[in-house]
C-alpha cells in the first residue's frame, strides 16, 4: 500500500475529547473517526486491525467446535418479553418502532434470539451438544459514552451460546470456551487472565471475566504470579477430552478484580507470588443453566423419550474493544507498538529520499516482496515526519531506506517494540522480515 | 464438517410464505431463518455462501484500487438534513431516538456519512482521487417485505464512493467500478449485464444497473446477444489505463430493463441478435457530480490554489441479495446447483452405510483430504434422504460411498450441475476433485 495513494490520514494534534491513551492514539493514527457520540467509523488502518482480531477469534471458535451463524442487528421486542428482560434492560437498550409501529430493538446481546432459533431446529437429544456463535455489531445506549471504542455505543462483539443435555455437558462446553479464550488472547500477543466474576443481568451461577493486563487499565486486579508465567499456547488442547485440569490450573490460583477481591484469601498467597496490576475486561463467559431455555420453551426429547430442557451458557468477546485494549497494553510516548499477529501491516518502508533512483528501486523491491503486508511511505515529506508517523502507527518493523545506504544496497531495519536497529543488506533484511 | 455434529438443519416441507424459488430453497436448505418480517438470521450454510460472495466483492474492489473502511449502522439525522434527504426518504428510513432523544437512523445508504468523513481528512488535490468502500448491514423499512433475502429489510450491501477532482476523473472512477463489477459477478459464476438506468433518489446523470439473468427473474430485460457471449474474465484489466473501450463494448450494444426499454432502438437490433430474458438487479452504480459534496461543503484546494468541489459517484452491490439471485439462476426441481466459487462446501461425502468399516474408512480419507471444503453425511439416515439433501443443498460435487464400491476401493462421483456420474478409484476421485 503506497501512502501517496492511501486513505490513511494521521492527525498532528490530539483531539481534546480523548482521555485515555488508546483513544488518543486511535484518533491520531487515523484508525477511527467518531460519527455520533460513542459511534465510530473505522478507517482502513483501524479496520485491518479489527479484521485481524476477528479472524483470530473466529479461528479459535471454530477450533473449539463452535459453529458460526449470523443473527441480525434488529430484534423483535416480543422475544425479550418472553425472557422477561425487555423491561429489565432499561435505557441501555435502543428501542425502535418500525413503520407499522411494531416494537423492535437493536440487539445488545442475543440469548433470546439464539434460544428461539435453536428451538425451531433442535428436536432430540441427538441435536445436542451444539455451540453457535456470531460476530455482529451490537448497541448499548450508554448514558455517557467515552474512551473511544473501549466503551462505544455501537460495538462489535463475538457471542457464543452452548446447548447441552446435562449440567456436566454444559460444564464441558464452558471449559471448551474457557480454553479457547486463553488461546484467543494469547495469539493476539496479549496476556489475559480469567477471573471469577459476578453473573449480573445474564444470570447463572458460574462466570469468568478475561482481563488483559495493561498499566493504563480501567480497574485494579490481583493475581498469583504463576498465572502470569504460563503460556496458553504451549500445548494444543484436545477439545473432546476432559479440560478440567487446564481450567483448574487457572481457577485454583488467586485471581480477582476489585469487585470480588477477598483480602483474607489474598493474604494467604505468599507475598512474593502476589501481583497487583491494572486490567481491562475483554471477555466474559457465563453458565446459566436453563434460565433462557425454560423461559422460552426450548425442549428436546431425551434418550428415554422424556422431554429435557437444555442447559445453556453464553460467551462474549469484545472484538472492537480489543483493538483499544491491545493499544493500552502496547504503546509508549511515541505511539502504538502492535503485536505482530494483529498489526495492520507488518512493516513500513520509509523512503527518505523519494526521487533518488537507488532509494526508489530498493523500496519497490521490498514492497514487491510484501505486497499485502507493507505500507510504503512514498510521500514527499521530511524524514522526521515519516519516522514519527511510523512510530505512531506502530508497525512491528520499519525498513528505513536512505540515499547513502541505498547506494551500497543497504537498509536499516528497526523493530518498533524494542527500538533495536541494524543495518543490513537488502537480502538479509528481507530474510529477517520473512522469518 | 460432520453432519452428525453440524447445525445444518433442513426442512422437509416448504414454508407456505415463500413465493419464489430462492426463498423456498434457502428455507428448506436451512440457510436462513426469519426472525421478524423481512429480517433473517443466517445459519452456517447460508453464512458460508454470504462470506464467499463478500470475499469476491472485496477482492475485486481492492483490485480496482478502492480502499475498505467500515461505517457504523446508526447515523445521526443531522447529516441527512444537510443533504436534504432526511425528509425526502420517507417511511423506508428506520428512524430512531436514543435515550437523550437525539434523532438517529439505521443507514439505508451512506452518501452523506462518507462525504462528511472524507471532508474531515481531504484538504488538497493531492488527496484525490480516492475510492472508499464498506460492506455493512443496511436497513430499508419496506412496507411489505417478501421474497426472503431478495427484498429483506436488513440486508448486507457493499457500497463504494469515489472522489475526484474533475468530471473526467470521475468518469474514470466510474469506469473502474463498471469493469470491477463485471469481473465480480463473473467470478461468482453469474452472467451479469450492465443496463443504463434511472438515477432515482441518489441523483446524477449517469447510472447503470447490473442485472443477473435468471428464468425466474423479477423483471423483463432486453439485450444484444454479443453481451451474453463475452467473458469479462478473458482479460485482466489495467485499472490505471483508459477503460473506455471495455465500457463501450457494453454500452454501445442494446441492453435495457423494461423501464427504459425503447422499442425503436430495439427494432434496430437484427432480430437474430435480440435476446429477451428475465433478470434480477444485483448492482447499481451512479455518477452524480457534486450533489453531495456541494450540499455538505466538501472542498479541497486545487493545484492553482483555488478551492474545488470534488466530483463523486456511488456504487452498490447487494451482497445478501446475491445469495438469492445466484439460486434463482442456478437451481432445478431438486434444489440448488451452486456455482463452484460461492458454494458453501465444494463436496458432500455420502456414506451409504455408516458403520461399514470400508465405507467409514474411505469417507474419513476423503474428509481428511478436504478438511474445510467437505460436508460428511455420517448421519444414520437412509440413502434416499442423503441423496435428496445433497441435491437440495447443491454442493457442486457428491462423492457417494456405498459398501459394494468401498470393498473394491471405489466411489461414485456426481457433478450436481450436470447430473454426470462416474465410478472412480479413490485416488482418481481425489485427483479430479482437486483439479
Q: Which residues in chain B have their CB less than 8 angstroms from residue A99's CB?
A: 91-92, 94, 141, 143
CB proximity under 8 Å: A 123-162 to B: 130, 132, 137, 139, 141, 143, 153-154
Q: Based on the domain organization, do A86 and A208 belong to the same domain?
A: yes
Q: Based on the domain organization, do B37 and B80 belong to the same domain?
A: yes
Q: Does B9 touch chain A (CB under 8 A)?
A: yes
Q: Based on the domain organization, do A109 and A176 belong to the same domain?
A: yes
C-alpha distance from B7 to closest chain A C-alpha (Å): 7
Residue A295's region, left for phi above 0, alpha for psi from -120 to 50, else beta, is alpha
C-alpha distance from A410 to closest chain B C-alpha (Å): 31
Cα separation, A377 vs A349, in Å, equals 6
Specify the pLDDT at position B201: 61
Specify the pLDDT at position A16: 83
ipTM (interface predicted TM) = 0.96
Q: Which residues in chain A have their CB less than 8 angstroms from residue B68's CB?
A: 44, 47
- Is the pLDDT at A200 greater than 80? The verdict is no
Residues A88-114 have a mean pLDDT of 96
- Is the pLDDT at A202 greater than 80? The verdict is no
Q: Does A102 touch chain B (CB under 8 A)?
A: yes
Picking from A128-132, A257-261, A420-424, B190-194, which range would have the lowest pLDDT averaged per residue? A257-261
Any domain includes B16: no
Any domain includes B148: yes
C-beta atoms surrounding B341 within 10 Å: 16
Cα separation, B37 vs B25, in Å, equals 18
Question: Smallest Cβ distance to A117: which of B33, B68, B120?
Answer: B33
C-alpha distance from B240 to closest chain A C-alpha (Å): 13
Q: How many CA atoms lie within 13 A of B305 on its CB side?
A: 0
Of the three residues B288, B306, B335, the one that is the final residue of a domain is B335
Please indicate whether, in this complex, the C-beta atoms of B75 and A35 are within 8 angstroms of each other: yes
Query: Each residue of A132-188: pLDDT tens digit?
Result: 999 999 999 999 998 999 999 999 999 999 999 999 999 999 999 999 999 999 999
Q: Which residues in chain A have their CB less than 8 angstroms from residue B36's CB?
A: 72, 74-76, 102, 104
Which residues in chain B land under pLDDT 50?
none
Residues A378-405 have a mean pLDDT of 97
Q: Based on the domain organization, do B316 and B403 belong to the same domain?
A: no
Q: How many CA atoms lie within 13 A of A4 on its CB side?
A: 9
Is residue B377 within 8 Å of residue B390, measured between CB atoms?
yes
Please indicate whether, in this complex, the C-beta atoms of B121 and A7 are within 8 angstroms of each other: yes
Q: Give the nearest chain A residue to B153 (CA atoms).
A: A74
Q: What is the residue whose three cell numbers read 460444564? A: A171
Cα separation, B211 vs A337, in Å, equals 47
Pairing of strands B347-351, B374-377: parallel
Specify the pLDDT at position B11: 87
- The DSSP code sequence of A285-340 is EEEEETHHHHHTT--EE-TTS-EE--EEEEEEEEHHHHHHHHHHHSEETTEE---G
Cα separation, B249 vs A270, in Å, equals 79
Any domain includes B268: yes
Q: Based on the domain organization, do B202 and B75 belong to the same domain?
A: yes
Residues A82-92 have a mean pLDDT of 93
Nearest one of A405, A419, A418 to A363, comparing CA atoms = A405
C-alpha distance from B127 to closest chain A C-alpha (Å): 8
| B174-210 per-residue burial string, b: 16 or more CB within 10 A, e: under 16 | bbbbbbbbbbbbbbbbbbbbbbbbeeeebbbebbbbb
Q: Which domain holds residue A392?
A: 345-434
Specify the pLDDT at position A12: 82
Query: Each residue of B335-377: pLDDT tens digit?
Result: 999 999 999 999 999 999 999 999 999 999 999 999 999 999 9
Question: Smallest Cβ distance to B39: which of A7, A65, A74?
Answer: A74
Mean pLDDT of all residues belonging to chain A: 95
Cα separation, A221 vs A210, in Å, equals 11
Q: Based on the domain organization, do B406 and B302 belong to the same domain?
A: no
Q: In angstroms, how far is the first alpha carbon of chain A from the final one?
A: 21
What's the CATH number where B403 sits? 3.40.50.800
Q: What is the residue whose three cell numbers read 547506494? A: A407
Any domain includes B12: no
C-alpha distance from A349 to closest chain B C-alpha (Å): 19
Q: A with B: how many residue pairs have Cβ under 8 Å apart? A: 133
Q: Based on the domain organization, do B123 and B157 belong to the same domain?
A: yes
**Secondary structure percentages of chain B, helix, strand, coil, to 5:** 40, 30, 35
Three-state SS for B181? Answer: helix
Residue A230: pLDDT band (50, 70, 90) is: very high
C-beta atoms surrounding A273 within 10 Å: 14
Q: Based on the domain organization, do A41 and A149 belong to the same domain?
A: yes
Query: Each residue of A333-350: pLDDT tens digit?
Result: 999 999 999 999 999 999
Nearest one of B295, B259, B96, B288 to B173, comparing CA atoms = B288
Q: Based on the domain organization, do A181 and A109 belong to the same domain?
A: yes
Any domain includes B252: yes
Please indicate whether, in this complex, the C-beta atoms of A47 and B68 are within 8 angstroms of each other: yes
Q: Based on the domain organization, do A360 and A329 belong to the same domain?
A: no
Domain count of chain A?
A: 2
Query: Each residue of B69-78: pLDDT tens digit?
Result: 999 999 999 9
- Cell output for B355: 458403520
Specify the pLDDT at position A215: 87
Specify the pLDDT at position A218: 86
What's the CATH number where B283 sits? 3.30.930.10
- Is the pLDDT at A259 greater than 80? The verdict is yes
Q: Based on the domain organization, do B360 and B279 belong to the same domain?
A: no
Please indicate whether, in this complex, the C-beta atoms of B117 and A67 are within 8 angstroms of each other: no
Nearest one of A169, A181, A149, A155 to A60, comparing CA atoms = A181
Q: Based on the domain organization, do B147 and B201 belong to the same domain?
A: yes
Any domain includes B39: yes
CB proximity under 8 Å: A 228-247 to B: none
Nearest one of A45, A16, A18, A40 to A29, comparing CA atoms = A45
Please indicate whether, in this complex, the C-beta atoms of B71 and A41 are within 8 angstroms of each other: yes
Picking from A321-325, A364-368, A397-401, B217-221, which range would have the lowest pLDDT averaged per residue? B217-221
Greatest C-alpha distance within chain A:
81
Amino acid at each position: 500500500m503506497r501512502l501517496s495513494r492511501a486513505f490513511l490520514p494521521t492527525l498532528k494534534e490530539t483531539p481534546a475529547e480523548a482521555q485515555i491513551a488508546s483513544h488518543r492514539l486511535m484518533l491520531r493514527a487515523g484508525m477511527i473517526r467518531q460519527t455520533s457520540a460513542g459511534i465510530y467509523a473505522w478507517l482502513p488502518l483501524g479496520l485491518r486491525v479489527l479484521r485481524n482480531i476477528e479472524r483470530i477469534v473466529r479461528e479459535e471458535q471454530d477450533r473449539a467446535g463452535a459453529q458460526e451463524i449470523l443473527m441480525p442487528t434488529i430484534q423483535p421486542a416480543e422475544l425479550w418479553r418472553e425472557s422477561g428482560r425487555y423491561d429489565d434492560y432499561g435505557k441501555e437498550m435502543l428501542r425502535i418502532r418500525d413503520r407499522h409501529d411494531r416494537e423492535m430493538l437493536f440487539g445488545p446481546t442475543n440469548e433470546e434470539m439464539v434460544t428461539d432459533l435453536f428451538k425451531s431446529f433442535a428436536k432430540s437429544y441427538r441435536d445436542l451438544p451444539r455451540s453457535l456463535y456470531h460476530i455482529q455489531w451490537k448497541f448499548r445506549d450508554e448514558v455517557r459514552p467515552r474512551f473511544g471504542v473501549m466503551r462505544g455505543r455501537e460495538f462489535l462483539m463475538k457471542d457464543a451460546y452452548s446447548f447441552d443435555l446435562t449440567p456436566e455437558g454444559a460444564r464441558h462446553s464452558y471449559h471448551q470456551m474457557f480454553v479457547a479464550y486463553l488461546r484467543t488472547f494469547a495469539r493476539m500477543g496479549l496476556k489475559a487472565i480469567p477471573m471469577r466474576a459476578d453473573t449480573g443481568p445474564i444470570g447463572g451461577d458460574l462466570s469468568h471475566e478475561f482481563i488483559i493486563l495493561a498499566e493504563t487499565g480501567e480497574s485494579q486486579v490481583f493475581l498469583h504470579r504463576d498465572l502470569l508465567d504460563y503460556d496458553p499456547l504451549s500445548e494444543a488442547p484436545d477439545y473432546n477430552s476432559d479440560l478440567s485440569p487446564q481450567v483448574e490450573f487457572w481457577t485454583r490460583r488467586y485471581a480477582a478484580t476489585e469487585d470480588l477481591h477477598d483480602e483474607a484469601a489474598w493474604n494467604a498467597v505468599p507475598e512474593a507470588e502476589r501481583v497487583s496490576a491494572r486490567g481491562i475486561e475483554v471477555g466474559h463467559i457465563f453458565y446459566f443453566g436453563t434460565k433462557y431455555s425454560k423461559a422460552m420453551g426450548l425442549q428436546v426429547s431425551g434418550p428415554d423419550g422424556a422431554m429435557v430442557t437444555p442447559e445453556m451458557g453464553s460467551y462474549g468477546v469484545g472484538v472492537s474493544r480489543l483493538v483499544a485494549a491491545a493499544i493500552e497494553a502496547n504503546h509508549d510516548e511515541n505511539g502504538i507498538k502492535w503485536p505482530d499477529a494483529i498489526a495492520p501491516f507488518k512493516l513500513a518502508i520509509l523512503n527518505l529520499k523519494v526521487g533518488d533512483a537507488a532509494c526508489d528501486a530498493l523500496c519497490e523491491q521490498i514492497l514487491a516482496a510484501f505486497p499485502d503486508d507493507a505500507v510504503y511511505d512514498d510521500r514527499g515529506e521530511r524524514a522526521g515526519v515519516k519516522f514519527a508517523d511510523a512510530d505512531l502507527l506502530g508497525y512491528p518493523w520499519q525498513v528505513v531506506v536512505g540515499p547513502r545506504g541505498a547506494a551500497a544496497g543497504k537498509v536499516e531495519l528497526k523493530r518498533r517494540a524494542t527500538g533495536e536497529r541494524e543495518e543490513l543488506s537488502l537480502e538479509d533484511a528481507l530474510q529477517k522480515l520473512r522469518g
